[in-house]
A and B are shown apart, each in its own frame.
Chain A
Amino acid sequence: MKRFALWAPLAIFALLFAVVASGLFRPADKVVRSAMVGKPLPDFALPAMVPGKPGLTSASFKGGQPRLLNVFASWCVPCIAEAPHLMRLKTMGIPIDAIAIRDTTPAIAGFLRRNGDPYARIGSDTASRVQLALGSSGVPETFVVDGRGIVVKQIIGDIREDNIGEIVQAVREAR
């Protein structure tokens, strides 16, 4: 018994080693994911961001068709990078709505003029309130919402070429 106890420190160290080694060789996922995936969209009603385009309410996601919900801002550089990919998704017939975070009408109007406008509706979230309710932790982020208003997928960061396939598939499965 006594003999065994003397090896206990080494055993504890081995355990400790295993923990930190696992942390090193399987680096933890540091992206903060929304816990809202699989749950209904929170209720919200945001005023219109630009003239001639309606604002955004959670009710508009219950129309029976899956839609994309893009969280973006004019001051966000990666949002410019993903703009062409959003345009492509739009031409593929996927409806896209957006929430603009802490932004102004002229800034968004300018952004849409420069980078294209894939959006059906744009809501203005001046205090990031809806962003927080969605469990989103930055811009840009994109949510796939099915026809009953349930969030089925979250894409964190700008949409890249290789994200398009998974988005299209998620939309198809949500139909």
Chain B
Amino acid sequence: MSGRLSLALAAGATVATLLFCTAPAAAQPVTPPAHYANVQLADPAKEASAKALMETLRCLVCQGQSIADSDADMAADMRALVRERIARGETPASVRDWLVSRYGDYVTYDPPLSGLTWPLWLAPIALLAIGAWIARSSFRRRTR
């Protein structure tokens, strides 16, 4: 995959030199990707849950894409792995856990709740509370 551009710019702020995929390799594998890299599962329900999982997994050799929308070879291998494991009856959560045990939390776009991430997950509620407190001062007591 590297040597090819990973992705174009999207609704981004500014246009410029896009980065190339930074896998150490500079060429493409000589064998085609595994069967399930680009082939859907026959069972629509399983395919849907595999696809939903792929959208939350980070392509490790790209600059910030999920494996569901990357042309990288490694993303293709990871898609095949996800589909095969889901087809075998594994739950998406256990496939994710398997990958996290290999690559750490970096591999999932859905940061697991931990000592480090609880401020992140608490932020929406905290912001709402602070905002409501600030907004309160602009209201007049309702008098009848």
- A–B interface present (Cβ within 8 A): yes
Alpha-carbon distance between A32 and B57 when the two chains are bound, in angstroms: 14
- Chain B CB count within 10 A is highest, among A35, A74, A77, A131, for A35
Does A144 make an interface contact (CB < 8 A)? no
Is B77 a contact of A75 with CB atoms below 8 Å?
no
- B63-83 interface with A by 8 A CB criterion: 73-74, 77-78, 80-81
Alpha-carbon distance between A37 and B61 when the two chains are bound, in angstroms: 20
- B24-65 interface with A by 8 A CB criterion: 24-31, 33-34, 60-61
Is B25 a contact of A75 with CB atoms below 8 Å?
yes
Known: A32-B60, A132-B81, A135-B102. A158 touches B31 (CB 8 A): no
- A103-118 interface with B by 8 A CB criterion: 103-104, 107
Is B29 a contact of A73 with CB atoms below 8 Å?
yes
- Proximity bits, A89-127, B CB within 8 Å = 1, else 0: 000000000000111100100000000000000000011
- Chain B CB count within 10 A is highest, among A104, A126, A137, A158, for A137
Min distance, Cβ B109 to any Cβ of chain A, angstroms: 14
Which B residues lie within 8 Å of A16 (CB)? Answer: none
Alpha-carbon distance between A73 and B74 when the two chains are bound, in angstroms: 13
Is A35 a contact of B25 with CB atoms below 8 Å?
no
Known: A76-B25, A78-B24, A127-B77. A132 touches B102 (CB 8 A): yes
Q: How many residues of A contact B (CB 8 A)?
A: 33
Determine the residue in chain A with the shortest Cβ distance to B73: A102
Does B106 make an interface contact (CB < 8 A)? yes
Is A33 a contact of B104 with CB atoms below 8 Å?
yes
Alpha-carbon distance between A137 and B106 when the two chains are bound, in angstroms: 12
- Chain A CB count within 10 A is highest, among B23, B31, B104, for B31
Which A residues lie within 8 Å of B80 (CB)? Answer: 127
Which B residues lie within 8 Å of A132 (CB)? Answer: 77-78, 81, 99, 102
Does B103 make an interface contact (CB < 8 A)? yes
Which B residues lie within 8 Å of A101 (CB)? Answer: 29
Determine the residue in chain A with the shortest Cβ distance to B80: A127
Q: A residues touching B (Cβ–Cβ < 8 Å)?
A: 32-36, 73-79, 101-104, 107, 126-129, 131-135, 137-140, 156-158
Rank and list the top 8 A-B pairs by shortest CB-CB distance, nearest first: A102-B29, A135-B102, A127-B34, A128-B77, A77-B26, A137-B60, A76-B25, A75-B27
Query: A127-B80, A132-B77 given. 17 additional CB < 8 A pairs?
Result: A32-B106, A35-B100, A35-B101, A35-B103, A36-B101, A36-B102, A75-B27, A102-B30, A102-B31, A102-B77, A127-B77, A132-B99, A137-B103, A139-B24, A139-B25, A156-B24, A158-B24
